[in-house]
Structure 1
Amino acid sequence: MESVAQHLMWFVPMLWLGMVLAISFLEAPLKFRAPGITTELGLGIGRLVFRALNSVEAVLAAVLSAAAVVIAPTGAVWAWLAVTVVILVVQLGVVRPPLSRRSDRVLAGEELPRSRAHYWYIGLEIAKVIALIGLAIHAAP
Protein backbone atom coordinates (compact mmCIF):
# COMPACT_ATOMS: atom_id res chain seq x y z
CA MET A 1 0.00 0.00 0.00
CA GLU A 2 2.83 2.37 0.84
CA SER A 3 4.47 1.77 -2.56
CA VAL A 4 1.24 2.63 -4.36
CA ALA A 5 0.84 5.76 -2.26
CA GLN A 6 4.45 6.74 -3.01
CA HIS A 7 3.86 6.44 -6.76
CA LEU A 8 0.58 8.36 -6.49
CA MET A 9 2.44 11.24 -4.84
CA TRP A 10 4.42 11.69 -8.06
CA PHE A 11 1.91 10.57 -10.70
CA VAL A 12 -1.14 12.53 -9.49
CA PRO A 13 0.58 15.95 -9.50
CA MET A 14 1.79 15.28 -13.05
CA LEU A 15 -1.72 14.26 -14.16
CA TRP A 16 -3.19 17.33 -12.46
CA LEU A 17 -0.52 19.56 -14.02
CA GLY A 18 -1.37 18.26 -17.48
CA MET A 19 -5.05 18.96 -16.95
CA VAL A 20 -4.43 22.52 -15.75
CA LEU A 21 -2.05 23.29 -18.61
CA ALA A 22 -4.39 21.81 -21.24
CA ILE A 23 -7.57 23.42 -19.99
CA SER A 24 -6.54 26.71 -18.41
CA PHE A 25 -3.77 27.68 -20.76
CA LEU A 26 -4.87 26.05 -24.02
CA GLU A 27 -8.60 25.37 -24.22
CA ALA A 28 -9.85 28.41 -22.31
CA PRO A 29 -8.20 31.12 -24.41
CA LEU A 30 -8.54 29.27 -27.72
CA LYS A 31 -12.27 28.61 -27.54
CA PHE A 32 -13.05 32.29 -27.98
CA ARG A 33 -11.06 32.34 -31.23
CA ALA A 34 -13.05 29.54 -32.84
CA PRO A 35 -15.36 30.60 -35.68
CA GLY A 36 -18.93 31.17 -34.55
CA ILE A 37 -18.21 31.14 -30.82
CA THR A 38 -20.00 34.02 -29.14
CA THR A 39 -19.07 35.35 -25.71
CA GLU A 40 -22.20 33.72 -24.30
CA LEU A 41 -21.41 30.35 -25.86
CA GLY A 42 -17.77 30.56 -24.75
CA LEU A 43 -18.83 31.38 -21.20
CA GLY A 44 -21.29 28.50 -21.16
CA ILE A 45 -18.64 26.06 -22.37
CA GLY A 46 -16.10 27.49 -19.94
CA ARG A 47 -18.43 27.07 -16.99
CA LEU A 48 -18.98 23.41 -17.80
CA VAL A 49 -15.32 22.70 -18.45
CA PHE A 50 -14.05 24.51 -15.34
CA ARG A 51 -16.74 22.97 -13.13
CA ALA A 52 -15.58 19.54 -14.31
CA LEU A 53 -11.89 20.44 -13.93
CA ASN A 54 -12.42 21.81 -10.43
CA SER A 55 -14.36 18.70 -9.41
CA VAL A 56 -11.55 16.46 -10.63
CA GLU A 57 -8.99 18.72 -8.93
CA ALA A 58 -10.80 18.32 -5.62
CA VAL A 59 -10.71 14.53 -6.01
CA LEU A 60 -7.01 14.62 -6.91
CA ALA A 61 -6.27 16.82 -3.88
CA ALA A 62 -8.08 14.28 -1.68
CA VAL A 63 -6.14 11.38 -3.24
CA LEU A 64 -2.85 13.18 -2.68
CA SER A 65 -3.77 14.01 0.91
CA ALA A 66 -4.69 10.39 1.62
CA ALA A 67 -1.48 9.15 -0.01
CA ALA A 68 0.54 11.60 2.08
CA VAL A 69 -1.07 10.33 5.28
CA VAL A 70 -0.12 6.76 4.31
CA ILE A 71 3.53 7.44 3.45
CA ALA A 72 4.27 10.32 5.86
CA PRO A 73 6.51 12.15 3.36
CA THR A 74 9.19 14.76 3.97
CA GLY A 75 8.34 18.24 5.14
CA ALA A 76 8.97 19.59 1.64
CA VAL A 77 6.33 17.30 0.17
CA TRP A 78 3.84 18.35 2.86
CA ALA A 79 4.63 22.01 2.19
CA TRP A 80 4.14 21.72 -1.61
CA LEU A 81 0.96 19.71 -1.06
CA ALA A 82 -0.37 22.31 1.37
CA VAL A 83 0.40 25.16 -1.03
CA THR A 84 -1.34 23.33 -3.87
CA VAL A 85 -4.45 22.58 -1.81
CA VAL A 86 -4.64 26.12 -0.41
CA ILE A 87 -4.44 27.56 -3.93
CA LEU A 88 -7.29 25.29 -5.05
CA VAL A 89 -9.40 26.21 -2.01
CA VAL A 90 -8.85 29.94 -2.65
CA GLN A 91 -9.76 29.51 -6.31
CA LEU A 92 -12.95 27.61 -5.50
CA GLY A 93 -14.03 29.48 -2.40
CA VAL A 94 -12.89 33.05 -3.03
CA VAL A 95 -12.27 33.67 -6.73
CA ARG A 96 -14.78 31.44 -8.51
CA PRO A 97 -17.94 32.84 -6.84
CA PRO A 98 -17.46 36.40 -8.18
CA LEU A 99 -16.52 34.99 -11.59
CA SER A 100 -19.72 32.93 -11.60
CA ARG A 101 -21.83 35.94 -10.61
CA ARG A 102 -20.18 37.99 -13.35
CA SER A 103 -20.78 35.32 -15.99
CA ASP A 104 -24.43 35.13 -14.87
CA ARG A 105 -24.71 38.86 -15.55
CA VAL A 106 -23.01 38.60 -18.94
CA LEU A 107 -25.24 35.67 -19.90
CA ALA A 108 -28.23 37.82 -18.86
CA GLY A 109 -27.15 40.40 -21.43
CA GLU A 110 -25.02 42.89 -19.50
CA GLU A 111 -21.83 44.14 -21.11
CA LEU A 112 -19.09 44.17 -18.51
CA PRO A 113 -15.34 44.74 -18.63
CA ARG A 114 -13.01 41.90 -17.74
CA SER A 115 -13.04 41.41 -13.99
CA ARG A 116 -10.08 41.53 -11.63
CA ALA A 117 -11.16 38.15 -10.31
CA HIS A 118 -10.31 36.70 -13.71
CA TYR A 119 -6.73 37.94 -13.36
CA TRP A 120 -6.54 36.52 -9.84
CA TYR A 121 -7.72 33.14 -11.14
CA ILE A 122 -5.03 33.16 -13.84
CA GLY A 123 -2.37 34.16 -11.32
CA LEU A 124 -3.45 31.35 -9.02
CA GLU A 125 -3.36 28.90 -11.94
CA ILE A 126 0.26 29.90 -12.59
CA ALA A 127 1.06 29.47 -8.89
CA LYS A 128 -0.69 26.08 -8.91
CA VAL A 129 1.43 24.96 -11.89
CA ILE A 130 4.58 25.86 -9.94
CA ALA A 131 3.28 24.12 -6.81
CA LEU A 132 2.40 20.95 -8.70
CA ILE A 133 5.86 20.84 -10.29
CA GLY A 134 7.47 21.37 -6.86
CA LEU A 135 5.30 18.64 -5.37
CA ALA A 136 6.15 16.15 -8.11
CA ILE A 137 9.87 16.88 -7.87
CA HIS A 138 9.96 16.45 -4.10
CA ALA A 139 7.69 13.39 -4.11
CA ALA A 140 9.45 11.53 -6.94
CA PRO A 141 10.22 7.93 -5.94
Structure 2
Amino acid sequence: MSSAFAVATAFTFVWLGMVLAISFIEAPLKFRAPGVTIPLGLGIGRLVFRALNAVELLLAAGIVVCLVVAEARTSVWIAAAVAIVMLLAQVGLVRPGLTRRTNAVLAGEDAPRSKAHLVYVALELAKVAALVVTGVLLLS
Protein backbone atom coordinates (compact mmCIF):
# COMPACT_ATOMS: atom_id res chain seq x y z
CA MET A 1 0.00 0.00 0.00
CA SER A 2 1.44 3.36 -1.00
CA SER A 3 1.73 6.11 1.58
CA ALA A 4 -0.98 8.11 -0.24
CA PHE A 5 -3.37 5.16 0.06
CA ALA A 6 -2.42 4.72 3.72
CA VAL A 7 -3.14 8.38 4.46
CA ALA A 8 -6.42 8.25 2.51
CA THR A 9 -7.41 5.16 4.50
CA ALA A 10 -6.55 6.88 7.79
CA PHE A 11 -8.49 10.01 6.80
CA THR A 12 -11.48 7.89 5.78
CA PHE A 13 -11.65 5.97 9.05
CA VAL A 14 -11.01 9.06 11.19
CA TRP A 15 -13.88 10.76 9.35
CA LEU A 16 -16.11 7.72 9.86
CA GLY A 17 -15.27 7.55 13.55
CA MET A 18 -16.01 11.23 14.07
CA VAL A 19 -19.39 10.97 12.37
CA LEU A 20 -20.37 7.87 14.33
CA ALA A 21 -19.24 9.35 17.65
CA ILE A 22 -20.83 12.75 17.22
CA SER A 23 -23.91 12.14 15.10
CA PHE A 24 -25.02 8.83 16.51
CA ILE A 25 -23.75 8.96 20.10
CA GLU A 26 -23.15 12.52 21.33
CA ALA A 27 -26.04 14.27 19.57
CA PRO A 28 -28.88 12.08 20.83
CA LEU A 29 -27.41 11.59 24.31
CA LYS A 30 -26.87 15.26 25.11
CA PHE A 31 -30.63 15.81 25.29
CA ARG A 32 -30.90 13.09 27.96
CA ALA A 33 -28.35 14.71 30.27
CA PRO A 34 -29.82 16.29 33.41
CA GLY A 35 -30.43 20.01 33.04
CA VAL A 36 -29.95 20.16 29.27
CA THR A 37 -32.87 22.09 27.83
CA ILE A 38 -33.82 22.08 24.15
CA PRO A 39 -32.29 25.56 23.59
CA LEU A 40 -29.10 24.57 25.41
CA GLY A 41 -28.82 21.31 23.47
CA LEU A 42 -29.43 23.11 20.18
CA GLY A 43 -26.78 25.71 21.03
CA ILE A 44 -24.26 22.98 21.85
CA GLY A 45 -25.25 21.04 18.74
CA ARG A 46 -24.73 24.08 16.55
CA LEU A 47 -21.16 24.48 17.79
CA VAL A 48 -20.34 20.78 17.65
CA PHE A 49 -21.75 20.24 14.15
CA ARG A 50 -20.12 23.38 12.78
CA ALA A 51 -16.77 22.06 14.03
CA LEU A 52 -17.51 18.53 12.79
CA ASN A 53 -18.46 19.75 9.32
CA ALA A 54 -15.32 21.90 9.10
CA VAL A 55 -13.11 18.92 9.98
CA GLU A 56 -15.09 16.71 7.58
CA LEU A 57 -14.44 19.16 4.74
CA LEU A 58 -10.71 19.11 5.53
CA LEU A 59 -10.64 15.32 5.65
CA ALA A 60 -12.59 15.12 2.38
CA ALA A 61 -10.09 17.47 0.72
CA GLY A 62 -7.23 15.38 2.08
CA ILE A 63 -8.80 12.21 0.72
CA VAL A 64 -9.20 13.77 -2.72
CA VAL A 65 -5.54 14.86 -2.76
CA CYS A 66 -4.42 11.38 -1.70
CA LEU A 67 -6.59 9.68 -4.32
CA VAL A 68 -5.13 11.93 -7.03
CA VAL A 69 -1.56 11.23 -5.90
CA ALA A 70 -2.20 7.49 -5.59
CA GLU A 71 -4.07 7.26 -8.89
CA ALA A 72 -6.92 5.43 -7.19
CA ARG A 73 -9.29 3.05 -8.91
CA THR A 74 -12.64 4.33 -10.16
CA SER A 75 -14.54 2.36 -7.52
CA VAL A 76 -12.67 4.16 -4.73
CA TRP A 77 -13.37 7.52 -6.37
CA ILE A 78 -17.07 6.74 -6.66
CA ALA A 79 -17.41 5.67 -3.03
CA ALA A 80 -15.47 8.71 -1.79
CA ALA A 81 -17.48 10.99 -4.07
CA VAL A 82 -20.74 9.71 -2.61
CA ALA A 83 -19.53 10.54 0.91
CA ILE A 84 -18.36 13.98 -0.18
CA VAL A 85 -21.60 14.76 -2.02
CA MET A 86 -23.60 13.73 1.06
CA LEU A 87 -21.49 16.09 3.18
CA LEU A 88 -21.88 18.95 0.71
CA ALA A 89 -25.65 18.40 0.62
CA GLN A 90 -25.78 18.47 4.42
CA VAL A 91 -23.72 21.63 4.69
CA GLY A 92 -25.10 23.51 1.70
CA LEU A 93 -28.72 22.40 1.47
CA VAL A 94 -29.93 21.06 4.80
CA ARG A 95 -27.99 22.90 7.49
CA PRO A 96 -29.25 26.38 6.53
CA GLY A 97 -32.81 25.28 7.30
CA LEU A 98 -31.74 23.68 10.54
CA THR A 99 -29.88 26.87 11.45
CA ARG A 100 -33.02 28.95 10.88
CA ARG A 101 -35.01 26.68 13.19
CA THR A 102 -32.27 26.74 15.84
CA ASN A 103 -32.15 30.54 15.63
CA ALA A 104 -35.92 30.69 16.12
CA VAL A 105 -35.84 28.36 19.13
CA LEU A 106 -32.92 30.26 20.67
CA ALA A 107 -34.87 33.49 20.15
CA GLY A 108 -37.70 32.03 22.23
CA GLU A 109 -40.06 31.18 19.38
CA ASP A 110 -42.07 27.97 19.38
CA ALA A 111 -40.67 26.59 16.13
CA PRO A 112 -42.17 23.30 14.89
CA ARG A 113 -39.92 20.25 14.62
CA SER A 114 -38.07 20.33 11.33
CA LYS A 115 -38.30 17.60 8.70
CA ALA A 116 -34.90 18.80 7.54
CA HIS A 117 -33.45 16.98 10.55
CA LEU A 118 -34.67 13.66 9.14
CA VAL A 119 -33.10 14.53 5.78
CA TYR A 120 -29.83 15.34 7.57
CA VAL A 121 -29.92 11.96 9.35
CA ALA A 122 -30.66 10.11 6.09
CA LEU A 123 -27.71 11.84 4.43
CA GLU A 124 -25.59 10.96 7.47
CA LEU A 125 -26.50 7.28 7.12
CA ALA A 126 -25.65 7.34 3.41
CA LYS A 127 -22.36 9.10 4.19
CA VAL A 128 -21.47 6.46 6.80
CA ALA A 129 -22.16 3.67 4.30
CA ALA A 130 -20.06 5.42 1.65
CA LEU A 131 -17.19 5.91 4.10
CA VAL A 132 -17.26 2.24 5.07
CA VAL A 133 -17.17 1.23 1.40
CA THR A 134 -14.38 3.73 0.69
CA GLY A 135 -12.31 2.42 3.58
CA VAL A 136 -12.81 -1.22 2.59
CA LEU A 137 -11.91 -0.49 -1.03
CA LEU A 138 -8.79 1.38 0.07
CA LEU A 139 -7.73 -1.62 2.16
CA SER A 140 -8.29 -4.13 -0.65
Give 1:11's aligned residue.
Answer: 10
Q: How does the TM-score come out when normalised to structure 1?
A: 0.96
Give 1:126's aligned residue.
Answer: 125
Give 1:54's aligned residue.
Answer: 53
User: Which letter maps to 1:46?
Assistant: G
Q: Please report how far the alpha carbon of residue 111 of structure 1 lies from its aligned counterpart in structure 2 after TM superposition.
A: 1.3
Q: Detail structure 1 runs of 4+ shifted over 3 Å in the superposition.
A: none
Q: How does the TM-score come out when normalised to structure 2?
A: 0.97
CA distance in 1 between partners of 2:118 and 2:25 (Å): 16
Q: Over the residues paired in the alignment, what is the CA RMSD in angstroms? A: 1.1
Alignment of 1:43-82 (within 5 A): 43-82=42-81
How many percent identity over aligned positions?
54
Q: Please report how far the alpha carbon of residue 31 of structure 1 lies from its aligned counterpart in structure 2 after TM superposition.
A: 0.3
Gaps of 5+ in 2: none
User: Which letter maps to 2:93?
Assistant: V
CA distance in 2 between partners of 1:24 and 1:42 (Å): 13
Asked which structure has the greater RCO (Cα within 8 Å, sep 6+), the reply is 1
The size of the alignment, in residue pairs, is 140
Alignment of 1:18-57 (within 5 A): 18-57=17-56
User: Which letter maps to 1:18?
Assistant: G
Gaps of 5+ in 1: none
CA distance in 2 between partners of 1:134 and 1:100 (Å): 30
Question: The residue matched to 2:32 in structure 1 has which SS?
Answer: coil
CA distance in 2 between partners of 1:62 and 1:9 (Å): 10
